[in-house]
Structure formats: structure tokens, C-alpha cells
Structure 1
Amino acid sequence: MDNHTQVSEFILLGLTEQPQQRQVLFALSFSLYLIGSLGNLLTILAIVSDPHLHSPMYFFLSNLSLLDICFISTTIPKMLVNHLCGTNTISYSACLAQMYYFIVFSGTDCIILSAMAYDRYLAICYPLHYMTIMSIFRCALLVMVPWISVNLIAMVHTILMTRLSFCTNRIPHFFCDLNALIKLSCSDTHINEIMVLVLGGPVVLIPFVCIIASYTPIAMAVWKVPSARGKWKAFSTCGSHLSVVCLFYGTIIGVYFSPTSTHTTQRDMAATVMYTMVTPMLNPFIYSLRNRDLKSALRKLLSQEI
């Protein structure tokens, strides 16, 4: 078998090769995964159990929480299992599957965030027509279209990846990242690289532009509110979403769409940890801390459980 053309498994080098640092990073990763999963699950249960939260805004928030659970479950559990078992390997098929679902959940996350920005734009700038425009059908459409479109994009990337041969099976990452796999290939990756920009660019940049386009009139509308209390109330409903957008988009654009000359392994790894682990963990706390209705629903849910 030619080592340059056939790979049956990959070796994930992880976040670090230092044994002592691995112990610390394992504990940190496990804590982030546990807190993120539990926090997002509680957010979903609170929204579902409280009839007062059955509105478009919380519908999108519950979908974002579900996405975050799926997102962190794509990469962290495999890393934790490898650490406990003392191995760093992942099979070829499992690696492609991990890459596929990572693209699906991260891409859908981007589009859902822009749908949430559009929802806030309608609620603040067109409050009288809000419930008419944000019908059940439109809310479902704004969720289903991202899922379908990003699955098709992930399928294209996965099919293109199967045609590549690899010079080495050592991935300098803690999961099977699309860019990391392309860099390992001995084949002509020109088509793969073009498709990353052609398909990946719109998924990240178009929603980002839509978010900016939504928040520009929101900022103007909030500025015209006469009372300071009214301004704060309007800002509080949007501030949490803007915080999540800045964390998520800032790190993704830094890793995938910044000039190659500015990339370093440590910088890219830190940015990847931010959007794959830290941001999904922080999302439920960011939204609940600024939202009285959600905090009330969470208190009711927890009191019932106790």
C-alpha cells in the first residue's frame, strides 16, 4: 500500500503535546462541555415549558441552543475519549463525518444568528407589524433553509475531500478541520480551496452583512427613544445577541478568512477553542443574564425539578 495515497486513520495531535498541559486542558475541556451542554439544555427546557416564551425570539434562541449542544458534541467528546483511552487516532470515515457535522453546525449557527438579528430588527423598527410578518411559517422557513443549504455545502466538501490523497496522517489539531485536512494532502487541492471560499464565504459573510444591515436601523431607532429607560430596555434585548455575534464571527473570520501570512498555530488554535468551546458555553449565560423573562422561566424550571 502506498503511504502517500492510502490513509485508514488519522492522528489528532490535540491542543498540546506536553503531558502536564494535556491534563489541565482535559479538565478545562470537560468543564466547558459539561457547562455548555447543561446551560443550553436548561435554556431549551425553560423556553419549551413556559408558554410566555413561545414567541419568535425564543424560538430562534432555542434553536441556537440546540445547535450549540450539537456543535460542541461534534469535537469535544472525541478529544476527551482519546485522552482517557491514551490514544489520538480517529478512523478515516469518522474523521470525514466529524468534518461534515462541524461544517453543518457551524454554518447553520452563522445563519441562525442573522435570523435572530432580523427578528430584533422587525420587533424594534416595525413593532405593530411584527407578529404579522414573523408568522409561524416564516419562522420555520428561517430555520429550515439554513439546515438544508448548509447540509448540501457540507456534502460537497466531504465528496471533494474523498478524492484527495494524503502525505501524512498527523493532523495538528484536536478535530478534523477542513483546512487542516486540505493542508495534509499531496493531491491538487486547488478545487477544494476554491470551494472553501465560494461556498464558505457566503455562509459566513452574507449573514454577517445581514446582521450589520439589521442593527444599523436598530441603533438609529434606539437613539431616537426619548427616555433612558426605554433606550436601556431596547439595548438589553439586542446587547446579548451582539455579544454572541462578536465572539463567534470575530474568531471564525480570524481563522478562515484572514491573510495566510498572519496565521500562527497558537493563534489559530486559541481562536478555534474560542468559537468551538467557549462561545457555545457562554451563550446561555449571556442571554439569560440580560433577559428577565428567561431568568424567571429558568427559576420556575429549577424549582420544579427540586
Structure 2
Amino acid sequence: MRGFNTSSAEGFFLVGFSDWPRLELVFFVFISIFYSLTLFGNTTIIVLSQMDLRLRTPMYFFLCHLSFLDLCYTTSTVPQLLINLRGLDRTISYGRCVAQLLIFLALASTECVLLGVMAFDRYAAVCRPLHYTTIMHPHLCWALATCAWAGGLVNSLVQTSLMMAMPLCGHQLNHFFCEMPIFLKLACEETKRAEAKMFVARVIILVFPAALILGSYAHVARAVMKVKSMAGRRKAFGTCGSHILVVSLFYGSAIYTYLQPTHRYSDNEGKFVALFYTIITPMLNPLIYTLRNKDVKGALWKIFGRDTDSR
């Protein structure tokens, strides 16, 4: 017998971090700082890539997409979290909640695929340098970016439609935004069939790109080991290591949340794990991928009237 969907009429109450009232102000301050850094860093990358011709390369093409994704991705959840932390309004209507879920899943899924594409780009640059411009042709770059966006949207539509078909009982979400595992715990009836379909979609969108990234960087590491210069080898390993660190934070936290059975999912742990892929990695991406890069520093100096090439 199907349960009555009380949430459709009443909306939801987002518990957020109200279980730890003494931490809410600390969270508000730090998350505000992280969000500001995310907005500044990713906006800077997009602006520089459009203004400086030296940054019109496949790598920066994908980085622009990643920066735009991170801007939208964080904005879909963080403002709601900041309002929640100040205790101003912890409620959200059913329609807004579904819209947030759809947008968040689409953007997060797109980022999963895009990071895999970027790893392939780095593999081509390091392991096939003589053929790089032929391999990463502009048409292929646009095709890969389009596939990432389309794949993310399809994954989101599939999972969100499966969720909307389930009757929900209750109107309290023990989270700071509308996320799929919390909805599954509110379901009034058996969710095994829906979860099985979602699991397949999640494996495709999470595990395949993660495997591609690991494979790409394994080939990159092998190519770097052939470099005779110790300084060059150290620099390459430092860059690859920082990339893998951020990717591991993103995929590790996402896999923890989405690939474990619903009955084993812990609401309290899930909230803290979600901070990694909603706030921390979008803030770190500009620092790790670009702001340490010589070309980006040169573009920044050029904008400020000091061209590094003339120094």
C-alpha cells in the first residue's frame, strides 16, 4: 500500500547543524570565508582565460568549464546552508527541494565526468606531447565537454525522477540541503528496486571517471620517471600529487555517500562528509589547478600592468 506523501504539501524542515548549536557560528564564519574564496578563485580563472590568449589551450578550456561548474555547484547549496546556520529560515518547499536536488545532482555528476576528461587531457599532454594538438582538437574538446554536461543532466533526471516516484513520509531532512540519501530514508515503502537502478547510474558516473583518472595518472607517473632532471621530476610529481589529493577528496567523499546502502548511511556523518564535495574541493580546485601555474601568474601580472615576459 502506497503511503501518503506528506512532504509535497508541507515541504521540509532542514535540520542542518542545529544538533551542534555551539558550532553553528564557527561553521558560519568558516563556510562564508570558503565560499568567498571559491567565488573569487573560480571567477578569476574564467576572466583570465577569456582575457589572455596564452590561456586559450585545451587545459584552460576544461578549467573554465570546471570553474563555472564550481560556481554554480556551490551556489546551489551554500547560501541555503548559511541561512540555515543563522537560524533565519530552516524550511524549504517541496518544489524548491526537488529543484535543488535536480540542479545539484546535474552539476555534481558533470564535474565527475569533467575531472575524468581533464585527466585524459593531462595524459595526452605528458605522454603524447608530439601528437597533443592533433589529439586534443577543438572539436574533440567541445564534444567531450558536451558529453560531460549531457551525462550529468541525464544522470540527474534519472535519479530525481526515481525519487519523485516514491511516496515520502515525514517532512524533516537531517541535512543542510536536499540530498538523495536523505530522501531514500524518508521513503514510505521498499526502495530496493529504485536503489538498484540508482546504484548502476552512480557507478557509471563515479567509478568509471575515477578509474580513468587513476589510469591516466599512472601513465603520467611512468612518463615522469623517465625524465632525467631531478628538479623536473620533483615538480611534475608535486603537481600530479596535488591533483590526485583534491580528486581523492572529491571522489572519496562522494563514493562514501552514494555507493553505500541506505540503511548504513549515517545522517550525522553524511553532513560532515558532504562539506568536502560541496565546499572544500570547489575552493581548492582553482588553487591546485591554476593559481600556482606560471601562465596564470603571468596573466595576472599582465592585467596589473606588469608583464612578466619583460622582466
- TM-score, normalised via structure 2 length: 0.90
The sequence identity of aligned pairs, in percent, is 39
Number of matched pairs:
303
**Paired residue for 1:106, among 81, 86, 108?**
108
Deviations 1:203-243 (A, max 9, x none): 00000111111112111111011111332343355344223
User: What residue is the counterpart of 2:76 in the other structure?
Assistant: 74
Residue pairs, 1:176-187, within 5 angstroms? 176-187=178-189
Deviations 1:95-122 (A, max 9, x none): 0111111111111111111111100111
What is the rounded CA distance, in whole Å, between the counterparts of 2:20 and 2:246 in structure 1? Answer: 32
What is the rounded CA distance, in whole Å, between the counterparts of 1:280 and 1:287 in structure 2? Answer: 11
| Closer/same/farther in 2, CA of residues 302 and 42 from structure 1, 3 Å limit | farther
What is the rounded CA distance, in whole Å, between the counterparts of 2:261 and 2:305 in structure 1? Answer: 51
* 221-230 or 136-145, larger mean C-alpha shift: 221-230
User: What residue is the counterpart of 1:226 in the other structure?
Assistant: 228
Deviations 1:147-200 (A, max 9, x none): 112211211222222222222110000000011111111033223211221111
* 65-74 or 182-191, larger mean C-alpha shift: 182-191
Residue 175 (1) aligns with residue 174 (2): no
User: What residue is the counterpart of 1:265 in the other structure?
Assistant: 267
Q: CA deviation at 1:271?
A: 1.4
| Closer/same/farther in 2, CA of residues 181 and 21 from structure 1, 3 Å limit | same
What is the rounded CA distance, in whole Å, between the counterparts of 1:262 and 1:164 in structure 2? Answer: 20
Secondary structure of the 2:129 match is coil
Secondary structure of the 2:16 match is coil
User: What residue is the counterpart of 2:301 in the other structure?
Assistant: 299
User: What residue is the counterpart of 2:16 in the other structure?
Assistant: 14
Secondary structure of the 1:276 match is helix
Q: Report if aligned partners of 1:124, 1:234 keep a CA contact under 8 Å in 2.
A: no
User: What residue is the counterpart of 1:5 in the other structure?
Assistant: 5
| Closer/same/farther in 2, CA of residues 112 and 160 from structure 1, 3 Å limit | same
User: What residue is the counterpart of 1:188 in the other structure?
Assistant: 190
Residue 118 (1) aligns with residue 120 (2): yes
1:276 aligned partner, one-letter code: T
Q: Report if aligned partners of 2:169, 2:187 keep a CA contact under 8 Å in 1.
A: yes
User: What residue is the counterpart of 1:133 in the other structure?
Assistant: 135
What is the rounded CA distance, in whole Å, between the counterparts of 2:166 and 2:304 in structure 1? Answer: 50
What is the rounded CA distance, in whole Å, between the counterparts of 1:102 and 1:129 in structure 2? Answer: 37
| Closer/same/farther in 2, CA of residues 209 and 101 from structure 1, 3 Å limit | same
1:6 aligned partner, one-letter code: T
* 161-170 or 47-56, larger mean C-alpha shift: 161-170
| Closer/same/farther in 2, CA of residues 3 and 299 from structure 1, 3 Å limit | farther
Q: Report if aligned partners of 2:72, 2:107 keep a CA contact under 8 Å in 1.
A: yes
Residue 39 (1) aligns with residue 41 (2): yes
What is the rounded CA distance, in whole Å, between the counterparts of 1:118 and 1:192 in structure 2? Answer: 32
Structure 2 unaligned regions, length at least 5: 307-311
Secondary structure of the 1:11 match is strand
What is the rounded CA distance, in whole Å, between the counterparts of 1:303 and 1:169 in structure 2? Answer: 56
User: What residue is the counterpart of 1:152 in the other structure?
Assistant: 154
User: What residue is the counterpart of 1:25 in the other structure?
Assistant: 27
What is the rounded CA distance, in whole Å, between the counterparts of 2:79 and 2:212 in structure 1? Answer: 33
What is the rounded CA distance, in whole Å, between the counterparts of 2:3 and 2:194 in structure 1? Answer: 22
Deviations 1:242-280 (A, max 9, x none): 232112112112222246686543432221111111110
2:38 aligned partner, one-letter code: G
- The alignment's C-alpha RMSD in Å is 2.2
Q: CA deviation at 1:292?
A: 1.3
| Closer/same/farther in 2, CA of residues 221 and 134 from structure 1, 3 Å limit | same
| Closer/same/farther in 2, CA of residues 239 and 28 from structure 1, 3 Å limit | same
**Paired residue for 1:207, among 206, 209, 227?**
209
What is the rounded CA distance, in whole Å, between the counterparts of 2:103 and 2:70 in structure 1? Answer: 12
- TM-score, normalised via structure 1 length: 0.92
Deviations 1:128-158 (A, max 9, x none): 1000110000000111001112211211222
* 289-298 or 137-146, larger mean C-alpha shift: 289-298
Residue pairs, 1:235-254, within 5 angstroms? 235-254=237-256
Secondary structure of the 2:6 match is coil
